[in-house]
Chains A and B, each alone.
Chain A
Amino acid sequence: MTFTSQANCASRARTALGFTGMLLLAACASTPPAPTANLQAAQQAIAAAERGEAARYAPGELSEAHTKLALADTAVTEKRMVVAEHFADQSRAEAELASAKTSAAKASAVNDEMKRSNGTLVDEMKRGSGDKP
């Protein structure tokens, strides 16, 4: 009796172990969901950058954002979701940087133009009305 009860104990323990193993396997087998939100955010950031003429003012950053987004997509197809999420976030950060640099370059270009035109005014004034008939 005691032996049988001991045997029962052992079998139960085995069963428990088996369950645990099954659960662990199941956990490993079920891949985490794709980082859809992060990928979308990256795509939107890239689209915004392109609308702002980032291709002209920050081509390096924009290109890098595209590259990172492509890497994220590849990682998704390879079920490497964590990596995919990282690439998506990096792509977004890169696209946002492209937008910011574009804004800065545009603002600076406007200011330069204003300075140039002010300088022209001052120069014309200094040259005097001698040129005008």
Chain B
Amino acid sequence: MNTTNQSNVIVRRTLIAMAVASILLVAACATAPVKPDGAAEARVKLTQLQSDPNLASRAAVAIKDADAAVRAAEQPEMNKELAAHRVYLADRKVDTAKALAEARFAEDQRAGLTAQRDSARLDARTHEADAAKIQAATARAEGAEQKLAADQARSEAGAAQLAAASSEQQAAELQRQIDVLQAKPTDRGLVLTLGDVLFTTGRADLKPGATGNLDKLVAFLNKYPDRSVAIQGYTDSVGTEDFNQRLSERRADSVKSYLTGQGIGSTRLSALGKGRNDPVADNDSATGRQQNRRVEVIISNPPAALR
């Protein structure tokens, strides 16, 4: 009885021990593929490299080598030194593959950079050409401007010439008018002498139909409105001084009133009797006395007439 009990206990213990051992074994199997330290990091780096579109295809052989090295490093290994060695190699090979791929990538980029450089050079030349064109255009524009200025100067000169011509023309015209009036230029101005033919002897009234010369004066004064007129009456020495004085005044007034009647402003006109004074000829002869009986119309020089 005792012996059977003892043997039963032994059997049970053995079974328990075996069960525990098998559990341990199973557990050991479950955790068996323990990757060496560092292998996972190498795998991560390799995966990154392989998924980089710029690098993955550029160092195929080196990446394949690295992949093999990483796989070797991932093998469970009891020998710690060997495991560490494999991880070391895997790490370096992945780095090497990455660097080679980067070098190749940089070389492949060079074509693009060369194209860029050529394009930049072309741009620079185009730019220079454009700048030159612009400069040329500017120069042309400046030339045109200068030409314009020259033209302007010429046209101004022309205008001056024209003005000169015009003033010459005006002077000529004035001369022509003066000639028409038969006026004499003197220091006092233009002197127009109206002979005694205008007047009946001893009277101050203008003879009808004898105003032709005065009409020319009206026309002249209308044409040159800046000129004023001094009318001076003269007589010969026949008769009393008083009579001659009054006669000369009335004749001067008569001419003035004719002119105002023709529309000449009275402010431009002054009338004065000089009597028998200032004879222009000898009173002894009939011809001389006739010359002395006169009305002088003195047309003042305009303020700018000296110009």
What is the interface of chain A, defined by CB distance below 8 A to chain B?
Answer: 83, 86, 89-90, 93-94, 96-97, 100-101, 103-104, 106-108, 110-111, 114-115, 117-118, 121-122, 124-125, 128-129
B88 touches A111 (CB 8 A): no
The B68-84 residues at the A interface (CB cut-off 8 A) are 81-82
B131: A residues at CB distance < 8 A: 128-129
Given the contacts A117-B117, A118-B113, A124-B124, A93 and B106 also touching, CB distance less than 8 Å: no
Query: Which residues of A have CB within 8 Å of B114?
Result: 114
Asked whether B128 is an interface residue with its Cβ less than 8 Å from the other chain, the reply is: yes
Instruction: Name 11 A/B residue pairs within 8 A (Cβ), A-sorted.
Output: A90-B85, A96-B96, A97-B95, A100-B99, A101-B95, A103-B100, A107-B110, A114-B110, A115-B113, A118-B116, A122-B120
- Nearest first, the 4 closest Cβ-Cβ pairs linking A and B are A107-B106, A100-B99, A103-B103, A93-B92
* Residues in A whose Cβ lies below 8 Å from that of B100: 100, 103-104
Closest to A93 in B: B92
In the complex, whether B204 has a CB less than 8 A from a CB of chain A is no
Counted as pairs of residues, one from A and one from B, with CB atoms less than 8 Å apart, the total is 83
Is B89 in the interface zone, CB < 8 Å from A? yes
A94 to B92, CA, bound (A): 6
Q: B123 an interface residue at 8 Å Cβ cutoff?
A: yes
Q: Are A101 and B113 interface neighbours, CB within 8 A?
A: no
B89 near A89 with CB under 8 A, answer yes
Chain B at the A interface: SS class: helix
Determine the chain B residues whose CB is within 8 A of the CB of A118 once the complex forms: 113, 116-117, 120
Contact A121 B120 (CB under 8 A): yes
User: How far is B97's CA from A100's CA once the two chains are assembled, in angstroms?
Assistant: 8
Distance of A108 Cα from B110 Cα, bound (Å): 10
Minimum CB distance partner of A85 in chain B: B85
Given contacts A86-B81, A111-B113, contact A121 B102 (CB under 8 A): no
B6 at the interface (CB under 8 A from A): no
Cβ-based interface call for B294 (8 A):
no
B201 at the interface (CB under 8 A from A): no
B107 at the A interface (CB under 8 A): yes
A124 / chain B contacts, CB cutoff of 8 Å: 124
User: With A114-B117, A122-B123, A129-B128 known to touch, is A104 a contact of B102 (CB < 8 Å)?
Assistant: yes
In the bound complex, what is the Cα–Cα distance between A16 and B33 (angstroms)? 40
Q: Which residue of the partner chain, among B92, B121, B127, contacts A96 with CB atoms under 8 Å?
A: B92
Does B109 lie at the interface of the complex (its beta carbon under 8 Å from any beta carbon of A)? yes
Chain A min CB distance to B174 (Å): 62
B93 at interface (Cβ–Cβ under 8 A)?
yes
Q: Which of A86, A100, A117, A121 contacts B103 (CB 8 A)?
A: A100
Q: Which residues of B contact A94 (CB under 8 A)?
A: 92
B117 touches A111 (CB 8 A): no
Q: Is there an interface contact between A107 and B127, defined as CB atoms closer than 8 Å?
A: no
Q: Quote the shortest CB–CB distance from B217 to chain A (angstroms).
A: 74
Question: Closest CB-CB distance, B198 to chain A, in whole Å?
Answer: 86
Contact between B89 and A107 (Cβ–Cβ < 8 Å)?
A: no
Q: A93-B93, A114-B117, A118-B120 are in contact. Are A83 and B106 (CB under 8 A)?
A: no
Question: Chain A contacts of B82 at CB under 8 A?
Answer: 86
Cα separation A39 to B103 with both chains bound (whole Å): 27
Check A110–B85 contact: CB distance below 8 A: no
Residue numbers in B under 8 Å from A101 (CB-CB): 95, 99
